[in-house]
Structure 1
Amino acid sequence: MPDLSVRRFHEALMRGDRTGEGGPRKAILESWRRSLDAGIDPDRHAAPLIYDTDEIGDARASHPMSRLLPMLRHTLLQIADEAAHIMVITDADGMVLWREGHHQVRRKADTIGLADGFHWSEQAVGTNGIGTALAMKKPAHVYAAEHLALALHDWSCAGAPVVDPDSGGVLGCLDITGTSRALHPASVALVAAAARLAESHLMLWMREHDERLRARYHRPGRSGTLVTLTGRIIAGDRRLGARVPLPDHGDRMVLPDGRVAVLEPLGDAYRIHTLDSSPVPRLTLNLLGADHPFAYLDGIRVPLSLRHAEILTLLAAHPRGLTAERLSYLLYGDDGNPVTIRAEIHRLRSQLTRAIAAKPYRLTCEVSADFLTVRQALAAGDLATVARHYQGPLLPRSEAPAIRQARNELEARVRTGLLTRGTIDDLWTYAQTTAGHDDVEVLERLVSALPEGDERHAAASVRLSLDGG
């Protein structure tokens, strides 16, 4: 049990005095801070209910630790019952899925919500053996006044998280709880040992499952890398490491070594096929009107910093390539430094490995870019395509000399073309861009050409009136 100084420190803290001496252990003090930051009221009397009786059955059945219940009962429950403790098992969020043990202690625990379906994270009830172990991701014990909530000062608890060897994530928490005077210090070691035993069972089952997957999907001569649904590699190209990040959507992915691959779903696993023999990577640039530009490399979205977007714009506009010196001048003017450009290209190539070559720097892929599409449509006199693809100025946040020049030139060509040869529909589309939204000449053309009953006529008239026209 904590000495009286901890209780006095707790009382001082509740009065708003955080300067007292003789406070709790560092782990407990940090937990108090997390709990207070989460808005926990120390006068809270019970944990909140999350699962009703008719819902908890589904939560239990779908949880991986349900298979561990017989072993945990054999390991912990008998000891807990004999020592007037209870055993609690939660999910990764601290929701109580199972609670068993001494009958009288269970009845008393009902009064604080330490029962099936209740939430025992630090964010829900403050410092406690379950929530604090989950927050720290390691075994934790909390005695009496070390609990932040006053209603828990009659209790002591020891918890240990259980980690899934497949995903590496926390599955849940094992906890032994008793009244403040009943919990033995050895309970911490006991519950930690039970958690490790649970993890060893999970590891054994995982390896058995891996063997079944290999036997089913990785016969001799079969190409590709076999991975679990969590991205853990179990057969194939071990150069990729132990695990690969799987895409959130779609079947294309970029491997850690920069290669592009296709993900083949197998139901209970995936097979990764690299595209080393694929023709040429395809790079799509979205740069018009883009405050946050991005690209797609073989269908995979790649966010771009402004500087990287500027470099790709210039390389796309100069398909024969640019030296570091020329790129530096186009981006920075006379103040440019080729060393800076080489460093930026190095970082950019880590994102677009197979798409950029050196000496000179050039794009070695099939390139499509919205600003190039607009340029080509202007040259062909296709104003409908111009209006459809021109979403706004080229990289509007860029101050690079060459980008400013290209942006201003393209804007002037688009505006002139649409005003002289574009249809009313084309002009209205242009009026939705940042450049055309308040363009007086464009708005006047729309007002004069559209009938008064047309909602576009009304919108253009309102914009003109706000502009003072």
Structure 2
Amino acid sequence: MTRLAAMDARAATLLLHHIRDAALRGGHAPLAPRADIRASWERMLRTGVDPDRDRRSGLLPAGELEARRHGTTLGELLPVLREGLMASPGASADPARHIMVVADADGRVLWREGHGSVLRMADGHGFEPGADWRESTVGTNGVGTALVVRRPVQVHSAEHFVATHHPWTCAGAPITDPRDGRLMGVVDVSGPVPTMHPAMLLLVRSVAALAEAELRNRHLAGLARLRAVAAPLLCRVGGRALVVDPHGWTAAVTGMAPVDRLALPGSFGGGRMWLPALGECDVEPLPGGWLVRPLDGAGEGAADSVTRLVLDVSRPREWTVRVSGAVGSWQRELTPRHAELLYVLASHRDGRTAAQLAADVFGDRGRTVTVRAEMSRVRRTLGGVLTHRPYRFRDEVEVEVVAPADPRDLLPHSTAPAVEAARHDGPGDDRAG
């Protein structure tokens, strides 16, 4: 956006039209589109989105819209988002020029607010509560594209793939739950093209960070409350035990080495459970969390019991790992970084050193400290399925990768050199072991 920011709105818009027209015709453009925009256009062309047709899906029924609003904590963050936008200096925060839109992880618009005239303009494009604003529905845009790439994105005028959206400029930033890394949704600021401001993307990124900080503070307060409940209880418990919140974060521990977070399977609940890091455990509910007591000898041979691992990276926004063996099976959703790391290791069964992984993921062999920290978290999640020196899957574990049908759709958020190479070359055989 640097060159565009130096132009007036009319000149920038004209240049973007030339770039888009050249890209759609396969001709020579006066300037290459930005990387995220180019990648989004390529996805739209592959999936058959019509660049000249205003395609819309039906709005959610009122009941389902309300159910989605009540089923997310995004609504509780609206005051933080609103205050962050209004408190920021500059034209990009002017409510008379823009609207704020909050969408969930499915790209459904849940809330929007702003000046009446801009809201009426948005109505004319179907940009209203209950609308589906995914890339696959309406093309490149600040909501749907930010959901795919998992980072802040600005889309100005003809950078929108669908021509009817060219009167708009927008910037969206994903909001991620710091408790589990789950993508919650997107906050977007949109307005007419003449309102483009160089600070818009920075503003939206900052406001999303404020919302995540609010969630983090609430999480820490919840852990403190759970710790107060757990303290007298653990004093009476003999042997090893720990208390965790619903996301696996540890509030208190006794008789064992402390861990920051315990990997909990999706089917976690009370009773007898097998956990990848601890083996067989007795689990009891507590107000705001769980009491977990490993059984005598639990954990011994737990990793050896895993015989198969399936890494599913076939979808654009959700990636999972499923492990199975003699003790049963469990599945866990992965963060974007962990999906990248596991994909690289599944592609290199002989293993990768920390320096090699740093080059694979960051393009910088020197970032070994970051790699070791992330791999420590991954190994805790998988309960010993991975070994190190070098990092690799245990030889006894069968590893299967479920990849997208088109290699170019592999982990679209990722800028990791190893993933970009796989998109270009194709993943080859999807069975890694």
Q: How does 1:223-372 map to 2 (within 5 A)?
A: 223-236=240-253, 239=257, 241-249=259-267, 251-256=272-277, 259-266=279-286, 268-277=288-297, 295-297=325-327, 347=394
Task: Give deviations 1:379-417, integer Å, cap 9, x for gaps.
Answer: xxxxxxxxxxxxxxxxxxxxxxxxxxxxxxxxxxxxxxx
**Further displaced range: 236-245 or 40-49:** 236-245
Distance in 1, Cα, partners of 2:78 & 2:64: 19
- 1:10 & 1:226 partners in 2: Cα distance? 55
Distance 2:170 2:112 in 1: 13
> 2: distance between equivalents of 1:74 and 1:164?
20
Partner of residue 19 from structure 2, selected from 3, 9, 20: 9
Rate the CA distance shift 1:62–1:263 in 2: closer, same or farther, 3 A: same
Query: For the residues of structure 2 that align with 1:105 and 1:165, how far apart are their CA atoms?
Result: 33
Partners of 2:178 and 2:129 in 1: CA distance? 26
Partners of 1:217 and 1:10 in 2: CA distance: 59
Alignment of 1:39-118 (within 5 A): 39-76=48-85, 80-118=93-131
Aligned partners of 2:208, 2:219: CA distance in 1, in Å? 16
Query: Normalising by structure 2, what TM-score?
Result: 0.61
> Does 1 or 2 have the higher relative contact order (CA < 8 Å, sep 6+)?
2
Instruction: Name the amino acid aligned to 2:164.
Output: A
After superposing the two structures, state which structure 1 stretch, 148-157 or 224-233, moved more: 224-233
Give the aligned partner of residue 29 of structure 1: 38
Counterpart of 1:27 in 2: which secondary structure? helix
The answer on whether the counterparts of 1:130 and 1:173 sit within 8 Å (CA) in structure 2 is yes
- In structure 2, the partner of 1:402 is none
Aligned residue for 2:197, secondary structure, equals coil
Higher helix share: 1
Q: Any idea what the Cα deviations from partners look like across 1:170-218, whole Å, max 9, x if unmatched?
A: 2111111001111212111111111111111111111111111222234
* CA apart distance, 1:121: 1.9
* Structure 1: runs of 5+ lacking an equivalent: 287-293, 303-345, 352-469
Residues 440-451 of structure 1 mapped to structure 2, 5 A cutoff: none
Q: What's the counterpart of residue 5 of structure 2?
A: none
Q: Is the 8 A contact 2:226 2:289 kept in 1?
A: yes
Following superposition of structure 1 onto structure 2, how do residues 117-266 of structure 1 map, counting pairs within 5 Å?
Answer: 117-219=130-232, 220-221=234-235, 222=237, 223-236=240-253, 239=257, 241-249=259-267, 251-256=272-277, 259-266=279-286
Q: Secondary structure at the match of 1:272?
A: strand
Compute the displacement of 1:300 (Å): 5.2
* RMSD, matched Cα: 3.4
Query: Quick one: which amino acid aligns to residue 57 of structure 1?
Result: E
Distance 1:25 1:48 in 2: 28
- Greater share of strand residues, 1 or 2? 2
Q: Please list every run of at least 4 consecutive aligned residues from structure 1 whose deviation after the TM superposition is greater than 6 angstroms.
A: 278-286, 348-351
Once residues 306 and 186 of structure 2 are traced to their aligned partners in structure 1, the CA distance between those partners, rounded to angstroms, is: 47
Matched AA of 2:223:
D
* Larger-gyration structure (1/2): 1
Looking at structure 2, the residues matched to 197 and 148 of structure 1 have their Cα atoms a distance apart, in angstroms, of 30
For the 8 Å contact 1:81–1:101, the answer to whether it is kept is no
* Residues 54 and 162, structure 2, Cα contact 8 Å, conserved in 1: yes
CA change 1:35–1:276 in 2 (3 A) is: farther
Report the number of matched residues.
299
Task: Output the TM-score relative to the length of structure 1.
Answer: 0.57
Identity of aligned residues (%): 35
Runs of 5+ in structure 2 lacking a partner? 1-8, 308-323, 332-392, 399-433
1-structure distance, mates of 2:224, 2:77: 21
Per the alignment, do residues 36 and 247 of structure 1 end up closer, same or farther by CA in structure 2, a change over 3 Å counting? same
